[in-house]
Amino acid sequence: MGNSLGGGTAVRFALDYPARAGRLVLMGPGGLSINLFAPDPTEGVKRLSKFSVAPTRENLEAFLRVMVYDKNLITPELVDQRFALASTPESLTATRAMGKSFAGADFEAGMMWREVYRLRQPVLLIWGREDRVNPLDGALVALKTIPRAQLHVFGQCGHWVQVEKFDEFNKLTIEFLGGGR
**Gap between the Cα atoms of 132 and 28, Å rounded:** 10
Does residue 159 carry a catalytic annotation?
Answer: yes
Provide the 10 A C-beta neighbour count for residue 22: 9
Q: Is 33 left (phi over 0), alpha (psi -120 to 50) or beta?
A: beta
Distances (CA, A) of 52 to 86, 96, 133, 136, 167: 9, 6, 16, 25, 33
Taken as a whole, the chain contains a residue count of: 181
Catalytic residue among 47, 132, 159, 165: 159
Return the active site residues.
159
